[in-house]
Structure 1
Amino acid sequence: MAISHVTDQTFSTETNEGLVLVDFWAPWCGPCKMIAPVLEELDAEMSDSVKITKIDVDDNPETAGKFGVMSIPTLLLFKDGEVVDKVVGFQPKEALAELVKKHA
């Protein structure tokens, strides 16, 4: 399953069911570029237990503001539409896998 990109308009629909890891990012952000391949690997390995999405904070400021995203990358983990965990900054794949497993 490929990582999907969501917008302010599609955000609630994409995060309301199951376990969803959302990457708040921007194209100019260095650490965001570093975490992108990590998320791709995580998606390849764990797509049966978590859906991974990305939202560009520059193009979708409403959602970023709603969740108080001040630094990027910020990763929010949703379970059935509710935020259950949050990490800010680059994270290694193992740490993200543990985060997902904790809530699966």
Structure 2
Amino acid sequence: MIVADDENFEAILDAADSPVLVYFWATWCGPCRVLGPTLEQLEGDVAGAFTVVKVNADDSPRIAAAFTVMAVPTMKLVVDGHTVRTIVGSKPRAALETELASVLVA
């Protein structure tokens, strides 16, 4: 999982050679604390399928606004510079795998 902020976010997206799952979170968000480790495990288990980029929505409001993040946790799957899937809220790993697989396999 890569940690991004206003300074490095664009460079990270530009350098990505696989889809990027942008994970918006906040330190005060309980569901975010549960979801973060799940995303790390999932990313490791499907190595190369996608990269998780973690963005603190409070510390990087410009990025959150650009992606129209209204609540945390929110995940945006970006493929070739375009958001192809938005997932709002914490979900069990199986549900995340299903949602991501439908886009990543297509």
What's the TM-score once normalised by structure 1's chain length? 0.90
Q: Higher relative contact order by CA 8 Å / sep ≥ 6: 1 or 2?
A: 1
In the alignment, what sits opposite 1:33?
33
> More deviation in 93-102 or 35-44?
93-102
Structure 1 stretches of 4+ with a deviation exceeding 6 A read: none
Q: Percent identity among equivalent residues?
A: 35
| Structure 1: unaligned runs, 5 residues or longer | none
User: Is the partner of 2:84 in helix, strand or coil?
Assistant: strand
State how 1:89-104 maps to structure 2 within 5 Å. Answer: 89-104=89-104
- Alpha-carbon separation, structure 2, partners of 1:91 and 1:15: 24
Distance 1:52 1:62, change over 3 A: same
In the alignment, what sits opposite 2:11?
13
| Structure 2: unaligned runs, 5 residues or longer | none
> More deviation in 12-21 or 38-47?
12-21
What's the TM-score once normalised by structure 2's chain length? 0.88
* Superposition CA RMSD, Å: 1.2
